[in-house]
Structure 1
Amino acid sequence: MGWDSFPKGTLYRKAREIVMGTARNDSLRQIEERLLCIEEYIRQRRRENSSSGQAVCAHGSFDQIELRDSALAVQGWMMLPGAAFDRLIVYINEAEAARATPVEKAELGTVFPTVPHAPSAGFRFSVALAPEQTEGMIDIRVAGVTGGRETALLETWYRGGIESLLPVPPLDLMKRVTIYTCFYITGGLHSYRDFWSAIRRHTDPATLGAVLDWGCGCGRLTRHFISFSGIPRICGCDIDAGAIAWCAENLAPAQFATVPLHPPAPYEDDSFDAVVAYSVLTHLTKDVQLEWIKEMRRILKPGGLFLASVHGESAAFVSFNKEAPNILADGICDSFHGGPQLDGIAPPGYYRGTFQAKRYTLREYSRLFEILEYRERGAINFQDLVVMRKR
């Protein structure tokens, strides 16, 4: 949410002065003003939730999913900053199946110190499935209900034995793409559901002849495109030569290539019908982002889709709480180190933790692509998902 979205009253002016650095008040006053910014953020979210007829993506996570003796047991958490849910409804394969039981998670109060209902955002449920329901993909959806209607969703897919469909990479490679190695499979499938659902909203997947997973790492997302998409030509690329070598040896028939830190990529013009990129732009500086976005436009066919995740306002709110408006004051902030995952692979200063306001993303990316959709928290209920089309 950008500053232009706030009501243009006294609070707006004071908050904007603090964030833009034009006010010269003492530290206590700054803290008070920034808390007012967060309160206004929450009030606006509450207004959006009450006025919109569609449920939005919740903040949240499926922390554990198990299928034992035809019983599906799930634990996780979900919330919206604006208001607590009255109840959580569980849908399995689009049919209402249960009510989730609330679970206290005190650690969420630390993550979301400005959200009073955060510590009570945990949930668990167990659903007995018929034998035929345990075969193939299981669609799991938890809907948060507020004021008698569903206001937020937490969704994923699950399939028993999915880890045996293709080889699983060694631990050191998995740690380069996720610090929680148990989420390599389940989180990858969640990502696949996010991207595949977005593709289906904007085109007929049967028309796709070639797709590229840009920044594929050791195949966390690519493996599910191989297993389930039916797309004839699947490619992956990354700067991590070790991960690419493992993918090339273990994830046939997909094709893999190492790419340099800066364009060009080793692909001809108009090569792909779609490019997907989970948490790639989130680790690039502003200038390097734009270099690679232009490169994605080059290798996409006319009318091709570019689906990419970014750290938007919601991710900044989770990561920085009351400091989020200050961090996003200029539209994009690429000054944070991205972590040690690619130490020795990317040179110092290349791998960033980049956060950007929706207004910035729409303005800059629309110079290169037609923006079809901006889905807040649309990538694993944390990053925002941007769907673009090559003109």
Structure 2
Amino acid sequence: MLKRLKTRFVDAMQRIATETVQRQGTEIAERVALDISERVALDVVKRDVPAMIEAQEAGVVNRTLYMTRAEYTVMPRFAFHQPLDYLSDTLPPNFDAPVIVEGEALALPPPGMRGGYSDVNAEYLETGRNHQAIYLEQIRQHHGLKENMTVMEFGCATGRVLRHFNTQKEELGWSLIGCDVQADHVEWLRQNWPNDICVYVGSVFPKLPFEDNSIDVIYGMSVFTHIKYHWDFWLLELRRVLKPGGLLLQTIHAERAWEFYHANQNLDWVKAGISPRVFQSAKMDIDFLLSGDIAVSQVFFKQDVARNYWGRYFQVVDVLSPDDRYWFQDLMVCRK
């Protein structure tokens, strides 16, 4: 009996051993197969996944650009301007409180509405005052500071420069007009400035809502620097509404601006907004560069080329090189 039990025990152990070996063999085989499949998969990943990711990223970028250009730029769907928002129902915007500064007749915009200019009130006021003084001097020289003039800022934002013409409005009876394609800027002015300063949302399409020969001076800072399309159309439209002998004062990017951007190409805001073509040459080596699209663009003309081209539509009285204390753009001084 003991012998039979021993035999059964040995047989059982053999079966267990055989099953264990078989099971372990299967597991080993599975691990080997898994190792092989993992190595194969890893090779596939190394070879194919970067291309797949790159293709997916390119697809996302292209879809985003398509949606942006179709829905969220100054395209016909939004009447060629930048609206308050892109929702079906537009409600009044919730602006931060206007800034009141003692001695200033007009409210200042809150820091978030200053278009990148200083959050420090005194500095913000000083930059606007300095730029207004440049325009005012050109008006004095080439037109005269007459009573009851109509003066428009083409691209007024939230009135950084326009506000400083309030003195001429009060003392000489000037009528002031401010227009901009950004509806939130104009809405802020509408809510916070007096009604006798005309402000309105304009369009990138060259059309102004004014009669022929109705405005004495049209000035602007860094507008034609961003008009890639229809810049000549715009010059003719501005000419239409100016009175005979009226002045057009507009800044442009010329050689000095090119050199400024080239020298500062490592700044984030320069890298984000300026064509790499500018970074290739320290000096402007082409007659003009029209870069970007209808939403964001940068435009450069050599000074003598701008003088020649603009001279087709206006008498170019002068082209002022920039005063490095205040800006790096040239100022076109033109007369109808």
Give the TM-score normalised by structure 2.
Answer: 0.59
- State the partner residue of 2:94: none
Equivalent position to 1:384, from 315, 327, 330: 330
Does 2:238 align with 1:296?
A: yes
Please, which of 220, 223, 227 is the counterpart of residue 280 of structure 1?
A: 223
Give the aligned residue type for 2:335.
R
Structure 1: segments with no counterpart, 5+ residues? 1-160, 337-347
Task: Measure how far apart 1:212 and its partner are.
Answer: 0.5
- Equivalent in the alignment of 1:174: 114
Instruction: Provide the C-alpha distance between the structure 1 equivalents of 2:128 and 2:235, rounded to a whole number of angstroms.
Output: 23
Secondary structure at the aligned position of 1:374 is classed as: strand
Shift of residue 249 of structure 1?
2.7
Code of the residue aligned with 2:211 in structure 1: it is E
Correspondence for 1:268: 211
Conserved 8 A contact 2:259-2:284 = no
Inter-partner Cα distance in structure 1 for 2:315 and 2:295: 28
Q: Distance in 2 between matches of 1:375 and 1:231?
A: 28
Deviations 1:157-182 (A, max 9, x none): xxxx677331011222213xx34333
Residue 172 of structure 1: SS of its match in structure 2? helix
SS of 1:216's equivalent? coil
Tell me which amino acid in the other structure corresponds to 1:282.
Answer: T
The residue that corresponds to 1:222 in the other structure is 162
Q: Deviations over 1:174-229 (max 9, x none)?
A: 13xx3433343211111101100111111211156101111001111110111345
Offset at 1:323?
Answer: 4.7
Cα contact 1:327–1:333 (8 A) shared by 2: no
1:245 corresponds to which residue? 187
2:245 partner SS: strand
Q: Secondary structure at the match of 1:283?
A: coil
1:254 matched to which residue of 2?
197
The structure-2 alpha-carbon separation of the partners of 1:218 and 1:237, relative to structure 1 and needing over 3 Å to count, comes to same
> 1:369 is matched with which residue: 278, 296, 314?
314
Which of the two has greater helix per residue?
2
Deviations 1:87-138 (A, max 9, x none): xxxxxxxxxxxxxxxxxxxxxxxxxxxxxxxxxxxxxxxxxxxxxxxxxxxx
CA deviation vs aligned residue, 1:282-328 (integer Å, no higher than 9, x gap): 1111x332221111101111110000111111111111149575774
Find the counterpart in structure 2 of residue 203 from structure 1.
143
Indicate if the aligned counterparts of 1:257 and 1:266 stay in contact, CA closer than 8 A. Answer: no
- The one-letter code of the counterpart of 2:206 is P
Letter in 2 for 1:217: A
1:320 paired residue among 249, 262, 269: 262
1 CA distance for matches of 2:124 and 2:288? Answer: 29
AA of the residue aligned to 1:357: K
Q: 2:291 aligns with which of 317, 335, 338?
A: 335
Number of equivalences:
216
Distance 2:102 2:330 in 1: 26
Distance 1:181 1:383 in 2: 23
The alignment partner of 2:318 has SS state of: strand
Structure 2 unaligned regions, length at least 5: 1-100, 264-277
Partners of 2:307 and 2:215 in 1: CA distance: 23
| Alignment-mate amino acid for residue 389 of structure 1 | R
What is the CA–CA distance in structure 1 between the aligned matches of 2:213 and 2:102, rounded to whole Å? 33
The answer to whether structure 1 residue 357 and structure 2 residue 302 are counterparts is: yes
Deviation digits for residues 21-41 of structure 1 (CA, Å, limit 9, x no counterpart): xxxxxxxxxxxxxxxxxxxxx
Change over 3 Å in CA distance of 1:184–1:294 after alignment to 2: farther
In the TM superposition, residue 232 of structure 1 has moved relative to its aligned partner by 2.2
Distance 1:180 1:223 in 2: 16
Distance 1:165-1:205 versus aligned 2 partners, 3 A rule: same
Give the 3-state SS of the residue equivalent to 2:321 in structure 1.
strand
% same residue: 26
TM-score, structure 1 normalization: 0.51
Supply the distance in 2 between the matched residues of 1:351 and 1:267 (Cα, whole angstroms): 27
Measure the CA separation in 1 of the matches of 2:327 and 2:230. 25
Q: Distance in 2 between matches of 1:236 and 1:349?
A: 22
Secondary structure of the structure 1 residue equivalent to 2:107: coil
Tell me the CA shift for residue 231 of structure 1.
Answer: 4.3
The alpha carbon displacement at 1:276 in A equals 0.5
Give the C-alpha shift of residue 330 in structure 1. 3.1
Letter in 2 for 1:269: D
Give me the CA root mean square deviation.
2.3
Alignment CA distance shift 1:257-1:318 (3 Å): same
Find the residue that maps to 1:318 and give its secondary structure.
Answer: helix
Q: Which amino acid aligns with 2:150?
A: A
Q: Judging changes above 3 Å, is the alpha-carbon distance between structure 1 residues 208 and 366 closer, same or farther for their aligned structure 2 residues? A: farther
